[in-house]
Each structure stands twice: as C-alpha cells, then as structure tokens.
Copies of this chain bind each other. A is one copy, B any other.
Amino acid sequence: MSHSRLVGFSDGVLAVAITLLVLDLHVEPGNGTDLLTQLAQAWPSFAAYVVSFLVIGVIWVNHHSILQLTGSIDRPLLFWNLLLLMFVTAIPFTTATLAASLADGSPTDIRVATILYGGGMTGMAVAFTALYARITDILTRAGAMEPRTRRASIVRFGAGTILYPLITLIGLLYAPAMLCGLAALSIYYLFNQTGTPAIEPEPPAPTR
C-alpha cells in the first residue's frame, strides 16, 4: 500500500466532507418570511458551519502530521484510517441535525442532537487515537520511538477522547457553549501541534 495514495484518498474524503457542509446552509427567498429574518433565524446553521469547518480543518492538519511519521502502511492502520474517515464523513449530518434542532426542535431534541454531535466527535477522536497508537506502534517496533515516549505521546494525542465528551456535557446545559468550546479548541490545536516533543524532530521529509 503506497503512502502517497493513502494520503491522496484521505485528503479527497476530507476535502469533500468539509465542502459538503455548505449543503446545510439554505434559505428560501419568497416563502413569505423576509430574507433578513430567515438569515437571522438560521444562525445555528452558520455557527455550526464555522465550527465543523474548523474541526475538519484541524483533523486534516493533524492527520497529515501523524501520517508523516511513518512510510509503512499495514492493514490495521488502513482499518483505523477508514473508521476515522467514516466519522469525519458523518460530520455534515450531525452538524445539520444540531443546527436544525437549535432552530426548530424541542429542548429534548436539542439535547439529543448535542449528544449525537458530540458523540460523533468523540468517536472520531477514538478512531484518531487508535490510528495514532498504531502508527507509533510501527515506530516503536522499528526502534524509532521508545515505548515510554510512545505511551506518553498517546495520552497527549488522545486528549480529545476526554475533551470532546466534556464539551458535550457542557453542551447538554447550553448547546451554543459546546460550539464555542469546539471552536476555541480547534483554533488552539490549529496553532499548537498535538504531538509530543518526542515526535517533533520529525524525520526530514521532502517539503514539496
């Protein structure tokens, strides 16, 4: 299995998923309600669009970082990568459901949609951490990373598996707070590498 084709396919799926988010945005000029009111009422769609866009953008950045660590691809790695992509591809659905619940749903619907959205993010984080664990396992067996360093780095990389459920709990109290928390977390991770110092001196990779 070639590294470049794995990267190309994953990038393709991520690019399509991030762009499909736009399909959740829609208004109907001429349906009796003036457009400005419709746009104002659609704020959950816009907020969810921005947050999910940032989340997928950060997934892409980190996906790139961890796949750069190794050139050898095995079947379990492919499996975890496919599971990760399955959760990412579902984000436009959980995003649309959350936005529609905030706009038209009952308080119970909003809580259900919050759990669906946060649950999808958590599932993504679990698959991502499993993928990272597999990659570092390959490194450890090849002697390129010490088992102790690996364990510490998995704990750091896996922070999302704790943070996402926590943010979801906050969302159960007030859903927009979940969106703000996710946006803040994404921007933080966009500027700060998720890996540990031990990984940062990466093997020199071609820059083009």
Contacts and interface: CB of A to CB of B under 8 A. Distances in A.
A58 to B, nearest CB: 9
Q: How many copies of this chain does the complex contain?
A: 4
Interface in A37-87: 39, 49-50, 53-54, 57, 60-61, 64-65, 68, 71-72, 75-76, 78-79, 82, 85-86
A interface SS class:
helix
For chain A, which range describes its interface: under 10, 10 to 19, 20 to 34, or 35 or more residues?
A: 35 or more
A49 B35 CA distance: 20
A96 interface: yes
A116 B124 CA distance: 32
A36 interface: yes
Contacts of A7: 5
A56 B119 CA distance: 24
Interface stretch (A23-31, A137-145, A162-170, A172-180): A23-31
Contact of A30 (B2, B12, B105, B205): B105
